[in-house]
Amino acid sequence: MEGINIKKKIEEIRNEMNKDQYYLYCQYVMGILTVKIKMIGEQLEHKYNREIIQNVSQRIKTPESIYAKMIRKGLKPDFSVAKEKLNDLIGIRIVCLFVDDVYEIAEMLKNQKDLTLIKEKDYIAKPKKSGYMSLHLIMKVPVCIDDKIETKTAEIQIRTTGMDFWSVLEYQLLYKKNVKGADKIGKELKGYADEIASLDRKMLKLRNRIEAI
Ligand code: 0O2
């Protein structure tokens, strides 16, 4: 019975998302952000004469994931509430090579006149208990259609290739999963995150040494 209700609720969220050109609005926001990030990448490449941004990806949160997150947060699993309470219905991920690049990209995004920073979460300076590292910017993006200007919220995750490697694997192996022996596995994964953080620091030092030659 509960399974049927969950399915019904997810279908309701899906139907709501299919209304009012919601996906088109999201694509508009992702398009604006992707172009801006591309321009930032080119400016930095020109400035430092090396490749900075490795990869940019984007996604719209699925109805299943919205439902699960609302329940996790103890919120009513309605799409109207999700639009108000969840910051990551639109998600953009930027993967770059070095830790200092993460912060420079973030600064450049924060300096964009049409974007407004709502919240910044520095999981690099202060990694999550799991070991997860990334810099999150929650930004408001204006969407101008016809004579209306609306703002939409997007979560931009910025991290190094090493942090991305860890987080993609940990997501698949453990994150939000009911795994037997999760404590032990989590501890092991946290150890690997620490190793990656240490490698990132060493690579940055090495790059600085090479640049000083
Ligand atoms: P999914 O499936 O990736 O969308 P809030 O408290 O509302 O400001 P929020 O969004 O509840 O913020 O929490 P948080 O911790 O900032 O997490 C935001 C996103 O970061 C998550 O979205 C994940 O994508 C990623 N993330 C956070 N912690 C971890 C972790 O321990 N491991 C991995 N692999 N990723 C993590 P969702 O919606 O949880 O998941």
Q: What is the pLDDT of residues 161-190, one digit of tens each?
A: 999 999 999 999 999 888 898 999 999 999
Mean pLDDT along residues 76-98:
96
Q: Which of 88, 92, 155 to mutate to test the pocket of ligand 1 (most atoms within 8 A of CB)?
A: 88
Which residue carries 């990694």 as its tokens?
A: 127
Q: What is the pLDDT of residues 25-64, one digit of tens each?
A: 999 999 999 999 999 999 999 999 999 999 999 999 999 9
Q: Please name the residue that has the structure tokens 């060493």.
A: 202
3-class secondary-structure state, position 129:
coil
Task: Tally Cβ neighbours within 10 Å of residue 70.
Answer: 20
Residue 14: enclosing H or E segment and its boundaries?
helix 2-17
Of 155, 170, 195, 211, which residue is the catalytic one?
Answer: 155
Structure tokens at 177: 């999963």
Confirm whether 155 is a catalytic residue.
Answer: yes
Which stretches within 140-180 are classed as H helix? 161-173
64 and 100 in contact (C-beta within 8 Å)?
A: no
Ligand 1 contacts (CB < 6 A) are: 61, 65, 69, 87-88, 121, 128, 130, 132, 136, 167, 170-171, 175
* Amino acid occupying residue 57: S
Nearest CA to ligand 1 atom 19: 88
**Span from the CA of 211 to the centroid of ligand 1 (angstroms):** 35
Instruction: Name the pTM for this structure.
Output: 0.95
